[in-house]
């Protein structure tokens, strides 16, 4: 059975007009999914390590002394909102809105991403003041191996937002850049997904069992 | 212990060079270390000198280093793998010589011996087997599935760059500082900062991390290539068996490389930042390392051996002049092995104190893998059965594999039994087992593939007589070197011993050492075969491209194939499409029309990242922080700059394609076909005359 050509990635306006470009972006987007899958294994393993080391506090400070759920709540809201704004950039792409609209939503996302990072850093500093540094115990090593790894991904996403924003201004909405917008959005949603895992396992799980 | 450290050179000093040790205390150990360093330096100078003398820098840069052509990248992978293979074999010979010297004798110091087995293992797995396997895959997969290139040609080039720069770290460690003494598995806490403050484990860590990233990208690339770029009509169940094994290997890479990266980076955090993942104190837990490492390590052996199975599958079918027997069962067996390889990692540490129940579960899971593997062996034998067999070099490798690999597999089933494993754990029995699967399994497969596809890549056949000699030498060398180790292993000789006392080991050690010399001569014979084949290449040209009357799509192209592989993308109608077309006498069709072809433009990004990542690793190993920071920035900037390039493809106009393709079709028409009995004779120009019906 021959399948009708479908819009595999609805954010892209390539489909009917540009079958070649649509096929190319399908290959590259599929490749990006595979990459995310591999990256997800990294995080999955770090979660597993964290769970095995939750008791390895070696007399140092534990989750109850260190975690500040108010700040985590704020970070969660910011990150979820940034997923919304990336989604709005995708909608702007889908409905052929001017590219300045995409760049604007990128800008909002960038601000949200950076404020998330600022809050996260201040959390880490507050933890360090209470003696919660990675050198203190296996538990803290696992914490600092996992949560900043996510932060690093957010930072990389921020750089990507800046670079892609510049490229959109320089080159306009080319086929290649449209497909990059789709991939960046995928990446950003992926970061959200990981964060949901982090609040559930690292913070709530840590407080429940640590 | 405090380590001297300067802002500019980090902990690099005069004492870091082995020549300093030779001057301070000239002895056999230092002479061996310095000879190794000298080989690296002289080799590098010789390569640079030859390139300059023959004015090859320009062609090297234009045609190879900046090329994004999957065929050239594949060939570069294989060249790199063979260079590293030479070092790995030499190290094996030195180790065998050390152990053969007699009870309590020997010329190496314990540290040096430990470095040897650590580099030997690391090199053979990560810098011989992996690049050789994926070098062949690079060359073949797009040709086999009817594509013009892999899905991400530039990423492919970057993978190569990262693998090579990581391999170079092992070469650099011979000249500057020392390598890890922790074995290829680098178990902490021994490799942690408390017990091993030197640079050795750091060389291991960064080489593993960077080559691991390169391999992961390769896995993604090939999974996507086979999923998305198959020619029209090339359904999954029409894929050549080899492509099935590569897709399974790629899936294994995507899931199995992350544990290795995680483990190595956590070890780095312990060593550089004083974390406590695997330390003895403050809650560190080395069992996490063992689990992570083998969560990678076991799938790793299957991601190496599955492509070798694929090569054998192609070779047995071609040189038996039959369809592959039991294609469906082979596909299912391959997939089963890929999935089950994730369920057995714990058998690498049965003795580390988990409960008997857990050991039993993993022992049974391990034994279960023997079932799909057995299915494969029977399928291969059934392919040979009543085939019209030609004992060409690839077939001879295949037959040696069938017999020897079964022994290796059976010793694996023995080891899968935890109670028995307790007896032989950490003995040479284990060393014999995994060499028994890795040499006849992986290495013979790769060499068979090298002999089989060489004419496709370069347009002329390899010398048959010398090829047979290599088969004999590898086989005999393997048996002499490793079969005795089963016996000393059962007698209780621990692996990785630089010295031993029990005189009853001695005869076995001497046989093994002699065997290692045979293996060394096998390696030299491979080089001689290549040399003689290049010398006599005018007599063995196969421009038509199908010297073995083979079955899959890659043989329907010229030898060597044009950069775009296929003048027009083939339309596949059945499994072994090319063999069927030959039977119908429709093998070399005249296309009705030609089209412009888009190919990836040359780019230097892979080379640039290779250099930057190499310097980055070196800086990290030697704590030259400013340089490491600089390189990190440069790597990011170079990559971002590359994303600003929009003109990434070149067009090959249809007229040019027509001209080249018609010229080749002219050669096809003017060549006399040969039947299978004459495929090693000079009149074989690569046009086959199928002179018997294909039997199923």
C-beta atoms of A34 and B276 within 8 A: no
pLDDT of residue B28 exceeding 90, the answer is: no
Residue with tokens 């995409």: A102
Which residues of chain A make contact with B223, given a CB cutoff of 8 A? Answer: 34
Sign of the C-alpha dihedral, residues A172, A178, A182, A187? negative
- Confidence (pTM): 0.95
* Tally of domains within chain B: 1
pLDDT tens readout for residues A53-105: 999 999 999 999 999 999 999 999 999 999 999 999 999 988 888 889 999 99
Comparing A138-152, B25-39, B550-564, the range with the smallest average pLDDT is B25-39
Of all residues in chain A, the one with the smallest CA distance to B150 is A27
Please, which pLDDT band fits residue A2 given cuts at 50, 70 and 90?
very low
Residue A15 confidence (pLDDT):
56
pLDDT of residue B539 exceeding 60, the answer is: yes
Residue B402: which of B373, B432, B366, B365 has the closest Cα?
A: B373
Count the Cβ atoms, other than its own, within 10 Å of residue B286.
18
Name the CA dihedral angle for A185, A190, A192, A197, rounded to a multiple of 10 degrees. Answer: 180
Average pLDDT over residues B40-44: 90
pLDDT tens readout for residues A181-195: 999 999 999 999 999
Average pLDDT over residues A195-206: 96
Average pLDDT over residues B394-405: 97
Measured in whole angstroms, the distance separating CA B63 from the mean position of its chain's CA atoms is 23
Percent over 70 (pLDDT), chain B: 99
Asked if A42 has any chain B CB less than 8 Å from its own CB, the reply is: yes
Strand partners, A118: none
Give residue limits of the domains in chain A: 19-209
Query: Shortest CB distance from B224 goes to which of A30, A53, A141?
Result: A30
B543 in Cβ contact with B559 (< 8 Å): yes
How far apart CA B23 and CA B42 sit, in angstroms, is 20
Asked if A167 has any chain B CB less than 8 Å from its own CB, the reply is: yes
How far apart CA B72 and CA B457 sit, in angstroms, is 9
Flag whether B631 is in a domain: no
Asked if A34 has any chain B CB less than 8 Å from its own CB, the reply is: yes
Measured in whole angstroms, the distance separating CA B214 from the mean position of its chain's CA atoms is 13
B405 in Cβ contact with B479 (< 8 Å): no
Residue B596: which of B650, B665, B642 has the closest Cα?
A: B650
pLDDT tens readout for residues A3-34: 444 455 555 656 556 667 777 788 999 999 99
Q: At B630, list the tokens.
A: 């600089």
Query: Shortest CB distance from A38 goes to which of B254, B270, B292?
Result: B254
Which residues constitute the domain of residue B208? 56-603+648-678
Residue with tokens 């980090």: B10
A53 in Cβ contact with A138 (< 8 Å): yes
C-beta atoms of A27 and B151 within 8 A: yes
pLDDT tens readout for residues A128-169: 999 999 999 999 999 999 999 999 999 999 999 999 999 999
Asked if B499 has any chain A CB less than 8 Å from its own CB, the reply is: no
Sign of the C-alpha dihedral, residues B73, B75, B78, B83? negative
Please, which pLDDT band fits residue B689 given cuts at 50, 70 and 90?
confident
Residue B407: which of B301, B482, B506, B315 has the closest Cα?
A: B482
C-beta atoms of A38 and B224 within 8 A: no
Please state at what angle helix B605-621 crosses helix B153-175, rounded to 10 degrees: 30
Residue B643: which of A167, A123, A118 has the closest Cα?
A: A167
The ipTM, to two decimals, is 0.93
Residue B131 confidence (pLDDT):
97
Comparing B32-41, B601-610, B659-668, the range with the smallest average pLDDT is B32-41
Mean pLDDT of the residues in chain B = 94
Q: Cα angle vertex B84, ends B78, B86, to 5°?
A: 105
List, as ranges, residues 73-102 from A with C-beta within 8 Å of B: none
Flag whether B354 is in a domain: yes
C-beta atoms of A142 and B277 within 8 A: yes
Flag whether B314 is in a domain: yes
Comparing A196-200, B266-270, B476-480, B683-687, the range with the smallest average pLDDT is B683-687
C-beta atoms of B151 and A58 within 8 A: no
How far apart CA B423 and CA A120 sit, in angstroms, is 51
Contacts 24+ apart (CB under 8 A), B23-27: none
CATH code of the domain occupying A19-209: 1.20.120.80
Q: Cα angle vertex B377, ends B375, B379, to 5°?
A: 70
Count the Cβ atoms, other than its own, within 10 Å of residue B199.
24
pLDDT tens readout for residues B175-196: 999 999 999 999 999 999 999 9
**Closest chain B C-alpha to A106 CA, distance in angstroms:** 18
Average pLDDT over residues B551-575: 94
How far apart CA B441 and CA A18 sit, in angstroms, is 47
C-beta atoms of A57 and B259 within 8 A: no
Residue with tokens 């690839």: B394
Please, which pLDDT band fits residue B543 given cuts at 50, 70 and 90?
very high
CATH number of the domain that residue B286 is part of: 1.20.210.10
How far apart CA B110 and CA B117 sit, in angstroms, is 11
Residue B455 confidence (pLDDT):
96
Comparing A193-197, B513-517, B690-694, the range with the smallest average pLDDT is B690-694
Asked if B640 has any chain A CB less than 8 Å from its own CB, the reply is: yes
Residue A5 confidence (pLDDT):
46
Number of A/B CB contacts below 8 angstroms equals 111
C-beta atoms of A137 and B282 within 8 A: yes
B171 in Cβ contact with B124 (< 8 Å): no
């Amino acid at each position: 059975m021959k399948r009708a050509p479908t819009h595999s990635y609805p954010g892209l306006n390539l489909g009917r007009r540009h079958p070649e470009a649509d096929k190319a972006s399908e290959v590259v987007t599929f490749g990006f999914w595979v990459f995310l899958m591999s990256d997800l294994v990294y995080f999955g393993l770090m979660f597993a390590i964290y769970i095995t080391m939750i008791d390895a506090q070696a007399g140092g400070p534990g989750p109850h002394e260190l975690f500040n759920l108010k700040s985590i709540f704020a970070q969660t809201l910011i990150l979820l909102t940034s997923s919304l704004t990336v989604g709005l950039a995708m909608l702007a792409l889908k409905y052929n809105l001017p590219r300045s609209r995409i760049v604007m939503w990128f800008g909002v996302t960038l601000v949200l991403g950076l404020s998330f990072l600022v809050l996260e850093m201040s959390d880490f500093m507050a933890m360090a003041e209470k003696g919660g540094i990675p050198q203190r115990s296996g538990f803290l090593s696992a914490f600092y191996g996992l949560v900043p790894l996510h932060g690093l991904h957010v930072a990389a996403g921020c750089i990507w937002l800046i670079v892609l924003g510049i490229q959109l201004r320089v080159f306009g909405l080319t086929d290649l850049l449209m497909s990059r917008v789709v991939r960046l959005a995928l990446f950003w949603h992926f970061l959200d997904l990981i964060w949901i895992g982090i609040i559930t396992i690292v913070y709530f799980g840590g407080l429940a069992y640590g | 212990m405090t380590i001297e450290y300067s802002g500019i050179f980090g902990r690099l000093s005069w004492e870091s060079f082995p020549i300093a040790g030779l001057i301070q205390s000239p002895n056999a150990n230092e002479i061996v270390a310095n000879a190794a360093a000298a080989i690296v330096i002289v080799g590098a100078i010789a390569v640079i000198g030859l390139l300059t003398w023959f004015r090859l820098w320009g062609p090297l840069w234009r045609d190879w280093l900046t090329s994004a052509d999957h065929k050239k990248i594949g060939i570069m992978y294989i060249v790199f793998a063979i260079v590293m293979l030479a070092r790995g074999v030499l190290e094996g010979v030195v180790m065998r010589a050390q152990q053969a010297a007699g009870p309590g004798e020997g010329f190496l110091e314990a540290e040096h011996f430990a470095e040897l087995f650590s580099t030997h293992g690391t090199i053979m797995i990560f810098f011989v087997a992996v690049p050789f396997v994926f070098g062949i895959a690079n060359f073949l997969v797009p040709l086999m599935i009817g594509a013009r290139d892999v899905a991400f040609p530039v990423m492919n080039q970057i993978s190569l760059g990262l693998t090579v720069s990581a391999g170079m770290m092992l070469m650099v460690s011979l000249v500057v500082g020392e390598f890890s003494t922790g074995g290829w598995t680098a178990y902490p806490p021994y490799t942690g900062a408390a017990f091993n403050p030197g640079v050795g484990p750091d060389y291991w860590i960064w080489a593993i991390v960077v080559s691991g990233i390169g391999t992961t990208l390769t896995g993604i690339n090939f999974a996507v290539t086979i999923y998305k770029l198959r020619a029209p009509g090339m359904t999954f169940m029409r894929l050549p068996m080899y492509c099935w094994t590569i897709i399974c290997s790629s899936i294994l890479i995507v899931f199995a490389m992350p544990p290795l990266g995680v483990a190595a980076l956590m070890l780095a955090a312990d060593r550089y930042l004083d974390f406590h993942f695997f330390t003895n104190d403050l809650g560190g837990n080395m069992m996490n390392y063992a689990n992570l490492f083998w969560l990678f390590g076991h799938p790793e052996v299957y991601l190496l051996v599955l492509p070798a199975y694929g090569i054998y599958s192609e070779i047995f079918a071609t040189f038996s002049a039959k369809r592959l027997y039991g294609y469906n069962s082979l596909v299912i067996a391959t997939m089963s092995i890929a999935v089950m390889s994730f369920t057995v990692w714990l058998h690498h540490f049965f003795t580390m104190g988990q409960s008997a129940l857990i050991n039993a579960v993993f022992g049974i899971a391990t034994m279960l893998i023997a079932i799909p593997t057995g299915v494969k062996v029977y399928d291969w034998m059934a392919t040979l059965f009543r085939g019209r067999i030609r004992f060409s070099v690839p077939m001879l490798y295949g037959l040696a594999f069938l017999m020897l690999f079964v022994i290796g597999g059976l010793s694996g089933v023995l080891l899968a039994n935890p109670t028995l494993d307790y007896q032989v754990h950490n003995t040479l029995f284990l060393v014999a087992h995994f060499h028994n699967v890795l040499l006849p399994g992986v290495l013979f497969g790769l060499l068979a593939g090298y002999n089989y596809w060489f004419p496709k890549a370069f347009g002329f056949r390899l010398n048959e007589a010398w090829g047979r000699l290599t088969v004999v030498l590898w086989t005999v060398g393997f048996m002499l070197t490793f079969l005795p180790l089963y016996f000393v292993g059962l007698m209780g000789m621990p692996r990785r011993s630089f010295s031993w006392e029990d005189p009853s080991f001695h005869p076995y050690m001497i046989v093994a050492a002699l065997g290692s010399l045979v293996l060394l001569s096998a390696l030299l014979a491979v080089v001689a075969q290549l040399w003689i084949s290049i010398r006599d290449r005018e007599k063995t040209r196969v421009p038509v491209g199908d010297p073995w009357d083979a079955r899959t799509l890659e043989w329907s192209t010229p030898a060597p194939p044009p950069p775009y592989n296929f003048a027009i993308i083939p339309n596949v109608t059945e499994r072994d499409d090319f063999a069927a077309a030959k039977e119908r006498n429709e093998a070399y069709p005249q296309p009705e029309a030609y089209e412009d072809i888009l190919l990836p433009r040359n780019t230097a990004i892979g080379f640039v990242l290779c250099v930057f990542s190499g310097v980055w690793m070196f800086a990290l190993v030697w704590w030259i922080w400013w340089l490491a920071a600089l390189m990190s920035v440069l790597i990011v900037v170079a990559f971002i700059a590359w994303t600003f390039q929009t003109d990434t493809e070149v067009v090959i106009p249809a007229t040019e394609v027509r001209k080249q393709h018609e010229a080749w079709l002219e050669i096809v028409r003017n060549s006399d076909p040969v039947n299978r009995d004459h495929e090693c004779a000079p009149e074989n120009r690569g046009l086959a005359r199928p002179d018997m019906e294909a039997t199923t």
